[in-house]
Amino acid sequence: MNFDFAFFARSFPILAEGLWTTLALALPAIVLAALWGVPVVMGLLARRRPVVLLARGYVEVVRNTPVLVQMFFIFFGSGVLGYPLSGFTAGLLALVLQNGAYVAEIYRGGIRAVSQRQAEAGLALGLTPGAAFRIVVLPQAIRRVIPPLSNQGVLIIKDTSLVASIAVAEMTFQARLLADRTAAVFEIFLALAILYIVITAAFAGLMRLLERRLRIV
C-alpha cells in the first residue's frame, strides 16, 4: 500500500480540532502539578513522622499505579459516589495527582542538592529557618529543578493522549475517529506524532529559555 501524501496533509486540519483540547488539558495539568508538588514535598521534608508517612504513602501509591488506571478510577468512581465527573475533569485530576508526586520528588532532590552549609550560613546571619530557606536555599533549588521539570512537563503532554480512553475529544481521540472512517492509519498517526513532537519541542524550548534566564539572574 502506497503512502498517501495528499491524505497525510489533509489529516492535519482534522487532528487540529482536538489540538485545543489537548492544550487546554496539558497546560493546567503542568501548572497544577507544579503547585501540588509543593505541599507534597513539604510533607516529605516535615519533621513530624505521621506527616512524612502520609506523604510517602501518597507518593508510592500514585507512582506505582498507571495513570490510565487512575483516570478510570476517578472517572467511574465519581459516578459510583453519586458525583460524576466529566472525562476532561477526571483526566486532569489523574494527571495532576500522579505528576504532582513526581514533581515533589524533583523538588526534594533540588532542595537536597543545595549544601546545608549555605542554610547554616543564613542562620548565622540572623535569618530565621523559614527565611533562610526562602532566601538562600529555594532560589538555588529552583535553578536545579528546571531541566527535570521540563521532562515531566513533556510526559504530561504525551499522557494527555490517554484521556481518549474516557471519551475526551483531544488529538488522539480525533485520530482514532478518523482511522475508523478511513484505511489511512499510518498517515493519520504519523501526522499525530508530528503534532506531538511540535508541541513538546515548543514546551521544552520555552523551559530552556527559562533555565537560561534564571542562570543569568
Close Cβ partners of 75 (under 8 Å, ≥ 6 residues apart): 85, 87, 90, 91, 166
**pLDDT over 90 percentage in the chain:** 42
Q: For residue 9, what pLDDT band results from cuts at 50, 70 and 90?
A: confident
Segments making up each domain of the chain, as ranges: 5-216
Instruction: Name the superfamily (CATH) of residues 5-216.
Output: MetI-like (1.10.3720.10)
CB 96 within 8 A of CB 29: yes
How far apart are alpha carbons 126 and 135 in whole angstroms? 12
pTM of the entire predicted model = 0.87
Residue-wise pLDDT for 114-139, tens only, equals 767 666 666 666 666 666 666 666 77
List C-alpha distances in Å: 53 to 38, 41, 47: 16, 12, 11
pLDDT for residue 4 is more than 90: no
pLDDT, one tens digit per residue, over 144-168 is 888 899 999 999 999 999 998 887 8
> Tell me, what amino acid is at 211?
E
